[in-house]
Structure 1
Amino acid sequence: MKPFAAGLLALVLTLVADQASKLYLLFVYDLPLHDPLSLGPFVTLTVVWNRGISYGLFQQGTEFGRWALVAVATISTVALGIWMARAANRLLAVSLGLILGGAIGNAIDRVAYGAVFDFVHLHAGEWSWYVFNIADAAIVFGVIGLIWDAFVANRQQPPAA
Protein backbone atom coordinates (compact mmCIF):
# COMPACT_ATOMS: atom_id res chain seq x y z
CA MET A 1 0.00 0.00 0.00
CA LYS A 2 1.36 3.40 -0.96
CA PRO A 3 2.06 5.85 1.89
CA PHE A 4 -0.76 8.26 1.00
CA ALA A 5 -3.33 5.44 0.80
CA ALA A 6 -2.19 4.11 4.19
CA GLY A 7 -2.44 7.58 5.70
CA LEU A 8 -5.89 8.11 4.19
CA LEU A 9 -7.04 4.75 5.58
CA ALA A 10 -5.77 5.72 9.07
CA LEU A 11 -7.58 9.06 8.78
CA VAL A 12 -10.90 7.48 7.76
CA LEU A 13 -10.74 4.68 10.37
CA THR A 14 -9.89 7.17 13.12
CA LEU A 15 -12.65 9.57 12.12
CA VAL A 16 -15.28 6.82 11.87
CA ALA A 17 -14.29 5.22 15.20
CA ASP A 18 -14.23 8.62 16.93
CA GLN A 19 -17.56 9.87 15.62
CA ALA A 20 -19.31 6.48 15.99
CA SER A 21 -18.23 6.21 19.64
CA LYS A 22 -19.35 9.75 20.40
CA LEU A 23 -22.70 9.39 18.64
CA TYR A 24 -23.38 6.06 20.34
CA LEU A 25 -22.47 7.31 23.83
CA LEU A 26 -24.42 10.56 23.44
CA PHE A 27 -27.54 9.49 21.58
CA VAL A 28 -27.95 5.71 21.92
CA TYR A 29 -26.53 4.80 25.33
CA ASP A 30 -27.23 8.33 26.66
CA LEU A 31 -24.06 8.62 28.75
CA PRO A 32 -25.17 11.96 30.25
CA LEU A 33 -28.05 10.06 31.91
CA HIS A 34 -25.81 7.22 33.17
CA ASP A 35 -22.76 9.34 34.04
CA PRO A 36 -20.40 8.05 35.38
CA LEU A 37 -20.21 4.51 34.00
CA SER A 38 -17.51 2.34 35.57
CA LEU A 39 -15.93 -0.16 33.17
CA GLY A 40 -13.59 -1.53 35.81
CA PRO A 41 -11.24 -0.41 38.54
CA PHE A 42 -9.20 1.81 36.21
CA VAL A 43 -11.61 3.06 33.52
CA THR A 44 -14.73 5.17 33.83
CA LEU A 45 -16.82 6.73 31.09
CA THR A 46 -17.91 10.22 32.01
CA VAL A 47 -19.13 13.31 30.18
CA VAL A 48 -16.72 16.22 29.85
CA TRP A 49 -17.24 19.05 27.36
CA ASN A 50 -13.84 20.48 26.47
CA ARG A 51 -14.07 24.04 25.17
CA GLY A 52 -10.28 24.39 24.98
CA ILE A 53 -7.49 22.56 23.24
CA SER A 54 -5.39 19.63 24.47
CA TYR A 55 -5.76 18.86 28.16
CA GLY A 56 -8.37 21.60 28.50
CA LEU A 57 -5.89 24.42 27.91
CA PHE A 58 -7.08 27.79 26.59
CA GLN A 59 -10.76 27.28 27.44
CA GLN A 60 -13.00 29.29 25.10
CA GLY A 61 -16.29 30.54 26.50
CA THR A 62 -17.33 32.69 23.54
CA GLU A 63 -18.55 32.01 20.03
CA PHE A 64 -15.51 33.84 18.70
CA GLY A 65 -13.20 31.48 20.62
CA ARG A 66 -15.12 28.44 19.41
CA TRP A 67 -14.89 29.44 15.74
CA ALA A 68 -11.28 30.57 16.12
CA LEU A 69 -10.40 27.03 17.26
CA VAL A 70 -12.37 25.61 14.30
CA ALA A 71 -10.41 27.90 11.96
CA VAL A 72 -7.07 26.83 13.46
CA ALA A 73 -8.10 23.17 13.12
CA THR A 74 -9.09 23.74 9.50
CA ILE A 75 -5.82 25.44 8.59
CA SER A 76 -3.84 22.75 10.43
CA THR A 77 -5.79 20.01 8.66
CA VAL A 78 -4.98 21.45 5.24
CA ALA A 79 -1.28 21.79 6.09
CA LEU A 80 -1.06 18.28 7.56
CA GLY A 81 -2.98 16.88 4.59
CA ILE A 82 -0.43 18.36 2.19
CA TRP A 83 2.36 16.89 4.30
CA MET A 84 0.63 13.48 4.29
CA ALA A 85 0.22 13.59 0.50
CA ARG A 86 4.00 14.15 0.20
CA ALA A 87 4.99 11.56 2.84
CA ALA A 88 7.79 9.30 1.65
CA ASN A 89 6.97 6.35 3.91
CA ARG A 90 3.96 4.62 5.45
CA LEU A 91 4.88 5.35 9.08
CA LEU A 92 4.91 9.07 8.42
CA ALA A 93 1.70 8.95 6.38
CA VAL A 94 -0.17 6.80 8.92
CA SER A 95 1.01 9.03 11.78
CA LEU A 96 -0.28 12.10 9.95
CA GLY A 97 -3.51 10.25 9.11
CA LEU A 98 -4.08 9.52 12.81
CA ILE A 99 -3.51 13.18 13.69
CA LEU A 100 -5.77 14.35 10.85
CA GLY A 101 -8.57 11.93 11.74
CA GLY A 102 -8.43 13.06 15.36
CA ALA A 103 -8.30 16.75 14.50
CA ILE A 104 -11.24 16.46 12.10
CA GLY A 105 -13.24 14.43 14.64
CA ASN A 106 -12.73 17.04 17.35
CA ALA A 107 -13.46 19.88 14.90
CA ILE A 108 -16.77 18.21 14.00
CA ASP A 109 -17.67 18.22 17.72
CA ARG A 110 -16.79 21.90 18.01
CA VAL A 111 -19.02 22.77 15.05
CA ALA A 112 -21.90 20.51 16.12
CA TYR A 113 -21.88 21.01 19.91
CA GLY A 114 -19.69 24.04 20.61
CA ALA A 115 -17.18 21.85 22.48
CA VAL A 116 -15.36 18.53 22.17
CA PHE A 117 -17.02 15.52 23.82
CA ASP A 118 -14.46 13.69 25.96
CA PHE A 119 -15.48 10.56 27.85
CA VAL A 120 -12.66 8.14 28.76
CA HIS A 121 -11.24 8.62 32.25
CA LEU A 122 -8.28 6.47 33.32
CA HIS A 123 -7.48 6.37 37.03
CA ALA A 124 -5.89 4.24 39.75
CA GLY A 125 -6.09 5.07 43.43
CA GLU A 126 -5.22 8.75 43.81
CA TRP A 127 -3.84 8.95 40.25
CA SER A 128 -6.15 10.38 37.59
CA TRP A 129 -5.52 11.07 33.91
CA TYR A 130 -7.26 13.68 31.81
CA VAL A 131 -10.60 12.70 30.29
CA PHE A 132 -10.11 12.07 26.56
CA ASN A 133 -11.73 10.52 23.48
CA ILE A 134 -10.65 8.34 20.55
CA ALA A 135 -9.61 11.39 18.52
CA ASP A 136 -7.30 12.54 21.31
CA ALA A 137 -5.73 9.07 21.60
CA ALA A 138 -5.19 8.95 17.82
CA ILE A 139 -3.50 12.34 17.89
CA VAL A 140 -1.15 11.18 20.67
CA PHE A 141 -0.26 7.97 18.81
CA GLY A 142 0.22 10.01 15.62
CA VAL A 143 2.65 12.35 17.36
CA ILE A 144 4.54 9.35 18.78
CA GLY A 145 4.76 8.01 15.22
CA LEU A 146 6.11 11.36 13.98
CA ILE A 147 8.76 11.37 16.69
CA TRP A 148 9.69 7.75 15.93
CA ASP A 149 9.92 8.55 12.23
CA ALA A 150 12.07 11.62 12.84
CA PHE A 151 14.51 10.20 15.38
CA VAL A 152 14.52 6.40 15.10
CA ALA A 153 13.23 5.13 11.77
CA ASN A 154 15.52 7.33 9.68
CA ARG A 155 18.58 6.18 11.62
CA GLN A 156 17.75 2.53 10.91
CA GLN A 157 17.96 3.04 7.16
CA PRO A 158 21.30 2.32 5.51
CA PRO A 159 23.14 5.43 4.28
CA ALA A 160 22.68 6.34 0.62
CA ALA A 161 25.55 5.37 -1.65
Structure 2
Amino acid sequence: MASIVASALAIDQIVKFVMVEFVMQPPRIIEVTSFFDLVLVFNSGISFGMFSGQIGLYPVVFALVKTAIATALIVWGCMTNSRRERLALAVMAGGAAGNIVDRFRDGAVTDYLSLHAGAWAWPSFNLADVFVVTGAIALVACSMVKPRPKADI
Protein backbone atom coordinates (compact mmCIF):
# COMPACT_ATOMS: atom_id res chain seq x y z
CA MET A 1 0.00 0.00 0.00
CA ALA A 2 2.77 2.43 0.92
CA SER A 3 4.45 2.01 -2.46
CA ILE A 4 1.24 2.87 -4.31
CA VAL A 5 0.61 5.94 -2.17
CA ALA A 6 4.22 7.06 -2.66
CA SER A 7 4.10 6.39 -6.41
CA ALA A 8 0.88 8.38 -6.91
CA LEU A 9 2.32 11.23 -4.83
CA ALA A 10 5.62 11.22 -6.75
CA ILE A 11 3.97 11.08 -10.18
CA ASP A 12 1.65 13.95 -9.25
CA GLN A 13 4.45 16.14 -7.90
CA ILE A 14 6.76 15.47 -10.87
CA VAL A 15 4.03 16.31 -13.38
CA LYS A 16 3.15 19.50 -11.47
CA PHE A 17 6.82 20.52 -11.37
CA VAL A 18 7.20 19.98 -15.13
CA MET A 19 3.96 21.89 -15.83
CA VAL A 20 4.90 24.88 -13.66
CA GLU A 21 8.61 25.11 -14.45
CA PHE A 22 8.73 24.14 -18.12
CA VAL A 23 5.43 23.71 -19.98
CA MET A 24 3.65 26.79 -18.63
CA GLN A 25 6.56 29.23 -18.92
CA PRO A 26 5.26 31.78 -19.61
CA PRO A 27 1.81 30.98 -18.17
CA ARG A 28 -0.72 30.73 -20.99
CA ILE A 29 -3.49 28.54 -22.33
CA ILE A 30 -2.26 25.68 -24.50
CA GLU A 31 -5.01 24.22 -26.66
CA VAL A 32 -4.46 20.46 -26.95
CA THR A 33 -7.79 19.61 -28.59
CA SER A 34 -11.03 21.48 -29.21
CA PHE A 35 -12.25 20.36 -25.76
CA PHE A 36 -9.03 20.05 -23.72
CA ASP A 37 -6.50 22.73 -22.73
CA LEU A 38 -3.49 23.03 -20.46
CA VAL A 39 -3.77 26.01 -18.12
CA LEU A 40 -2.06 27.06 -14.90
CA VAL A 41 -4.38 27.74 -11.98
CA PHE A 42 -3.60 27.91 -8.26
CA ASN A 43 -6.73 26.80 -6.41
CA SER A 44 -6.90 28.06 -2.83
CA GLY A 45 -10.41 26.69 -2.28
CA ILE A 46 -11.89 23.23 -1.98
CA SER A 47 -12.87 21.28 -5.07
CA PHE A 48 -13.54 23.50 -8.07
CA GLY A 49 -12.33 26.57 -6.20
CA MET A 50 -15.33 26.67 -3.87
CA PHE A 51 -14.84 28.69 -0.68
CA SER A 52 -11.46 30.00 -1.85
CA GLY A 53 -12.04 33.27 0.01
CA GLN A 54 -12.56 31.53 3.33
CA ILE A 55 -10.15 28.61 3.00
CA GLY A 56 -7.50 30.71 1.32
CA LEU A 57 -7.11 32.55 4.61
CA TYR A 58 -6.23 29.33 6.47
CA PRO A 59 -4.41 27.03 4.01
CA VAL A 60 -2.44 25.18 6.69
CA VAL A 61 -5.58 24.40 8.72
CA PHE A 62 -7.28 23.05 5.60
CA ALA A 63 -4.15 21.06 4.72
CA LEU A 64 -4.20 19.51 8.20
CA VAL A 65 -7.86 18.50 7.76
CA LYS A 66 -7.01 16.90 4.42
CA THR A 67 -4.04 15.16 6.03
CA ALA A 68 -6.37 13.62 8.62
CA ILE A 69 -8.65 12.39 5.82
CA ALA A 70 -5.73 10.92 3.84
CA THR A 71 -4.46 9.25 7.01
CA ALA A 72 -7.91 7.73 7.57
CA LEU A 73 -7.85 6.35 4.01
CA ILE A 74 -4.45 4.76 4.66
CA VAL A 75 -5.61 3.24 7.97
CA TRP A 76 -8.72 1.89 6.25
CA GLY A 77 -6.56 0.44 3.49
CA CYS A 78 -4.28 -1.26 6.00
CA MET A 79 -7.27 -2.81 7.78
CA THR A 80 -9.11 -4.20 4.75
CA ASN A 81 -8.63 -7.75 3.52
CA SER A 82 -9.57 -6.85 -0.06
CA ARG A 83 -6.62 -6.16 -2.38
CA ARG A 84 -8.89 -4.22 -4.75
CA GLU A 85 -10.20 -2.03 -1.95
CA ARG A 86 -6.65 -1.49 -0.65
CA LEU A 87 -5.50 -0.43 -4.14
CA ALA A 88 -8.42 2.00 -4.54
CA LEU A 89 -7.76 3.53 -1.12
CA ALA A 90 -4.02 3.81 -1.81
CA VAL A 91 -4.62 5.61 -5.11
CA MET A 92 -7.03 8.00 -3.38
CA ALA A 93 -4.61 8.64 -0.51
CA GLY A 94 -1.72 9.23 -2.93
CA GLY A 95 -3.76 11.76 -4.89
CA ALA A 96 -4.88 13.48 -1.71
CA ALA A 97 -1.26 13.58 -0.53
CA GLY A 98 -0.22 15.29 -3.77
CA ASN A 99 -2.69 18.10 -3.18
CA ILE A 100 -1.76 18.28 0.51
CA VAL A 101 1.88 18.86 -0.42
CA ASP A 102 0.77 21.76 -2.64
CA ARG A 103 -1.28 23.31 0.17
CA PHE A 104 1.58 23.18 2.66
CA ARG A 105 4.13 24.41 0.11
CA ASP A 106 2.13 27.01 -1.82
CA GLY A 107 -1.07 27.59 0.15
CA ALA A 108 -3.01 26.43 -2.94
CA VAL A 109 -3.32 23.39 -5.20
CA THR A 110 -1.69 23.54 -8.63
CA ASP A 111 -4.22 22.69 -11.37
CA TYR A 112 -3.36 22.46 -15.06
CA LEU A 113 -6.00 20.40 -16.89
CA SER A 114 -9.09 22.02 -18.38
CA LEU A 115 -12.03 20.36 -20.15
CA HIS A 116 -14.68 22.36 -22.00
CA ALA A 117 -17.30 22.15 -24.73
CA GLY A 118 -18.83 25.28 -26.19
CA ALA A 119 -19.85 27.57 -23.33
CA TRP A 120 -19.58 24.73 -20.77
CA ALA A 121 -16.30 24.37 -18.87
CA TRP A 122 -15.32 21.94 -16.13
CA PRO A 123 -13.22 23.55 -13.38
CA SER A 124 -9.48 23.03 -13.79
CA PHE A 125 -8.00 19.98 -12.12
CA ASN A 126 -4.78 17.96 -11.88
CA LEU A 127 -3.50 14.38 -11.88
CA ALA A 128 -3.94 14.09 -8.10
CA ASP A 129 -7.64 14.83 -8.59
CA VAL A 130 -7.77 12.10 -11.25
CA PHE A 131 -6.21 9.67 -8.76
CA VAL A 132 -8.76 10.59 -6.08
CA VAL A 133 -11.75 10.25 -8.42
CA THR A 134 -10.45 7.03 -9.99
CA GLY A 135 -9.86 5.54 -6.55
CA ALA A 136 -13.33 6.58 -5.40
CA ILE A 137 -14.97 5.02 -8.47
CA ALA A 138 -12.95 1.84 -7.94
CA LEU A 139 -13.97 1.78 -4.27
CA VAL A 140 -17.65 2.03 -5.23
CA ALA A 141 -17.14 -0.73 -7.79
CA CYS A 142 -15.49 -2.88 -5.10
CA SER A 143 -18.55 -2.46 -2.90
CA MET A 144 -20.79 -3.71 -5.71
CA VAL A 145 -18.80 -6.88 -6.42
CA LYS A 146 -19.42 -9.79 -4.11
CA PRO A 147 -16.29 -11.61 -3.03
CA ARG A 148 -15.92 -15.11 -4.43
CA PRO A 149 -16.55 -17.79 -1.88
CA LYS A 150 -13.49 -19.79 -0.91
CA ALA A 151 -13.48 -23.31 -2.27
CA ASP A 152 -13.74 -26.11 0.25
CA ILE A 153 -10.71 -28.33 0.06
TM-score, normalised relative to structure 2:
0.89
Contact 1:35 1:47 in 2 (8 A): yes
Alignment equivalent of 1:61, drawn from 51, 56, 59: 56
Which of 139, 148, 151 is 1:157 aligned to? Answer: 148
Partners of 1:8 and 1:87 in 2: CA distance: 14
Shift of 1:18: 0.7
What are the Cα deviations for residues 108-156 of structure 1, in whole angstroms up to 9, with x where unaligned?
Answer: 1011111000110011222211210000011001111111112x112x5
* Aligned position for 1:138: 131
Aligned length: 150
CA contact (8 A) 2:56 2:108 kept: no
Q: Secondary structure, in 3 states, of the residue corresponding to 1:106?
A: helix
Q: Which residue, out of 103, 109, 116, partners 1:110?
A: 103
Q: For 2:56, give the aligned amino acid.
A: G
Question: How much does 1:53 deviate?
Answer: 1.5
Question: Post-superposition shift, 1:158?
Answer: 4.1
- In structure 1, runs of 5+ residues without a counterpart are 1-6
- State the alpha-carbon separation in 2 of the partners of residues 133 and 32 from structure 1: 17
Per the TM alignment, residue 61 of structure 1 is displaced from its structure 2 partner at its CA by 2.7
Who is 1:45 aligned against?
38
Paired amino acid for 1:43:
F
Identical-pair percentage: 32
Query: 1:25 aligned to 2:16?
Result: no
CA distance in 2, matches of 1:139, 1:12: 14
Deviation at 1:86, TM superposition (A): 1.3
RMSD, matched Cα: 1.9
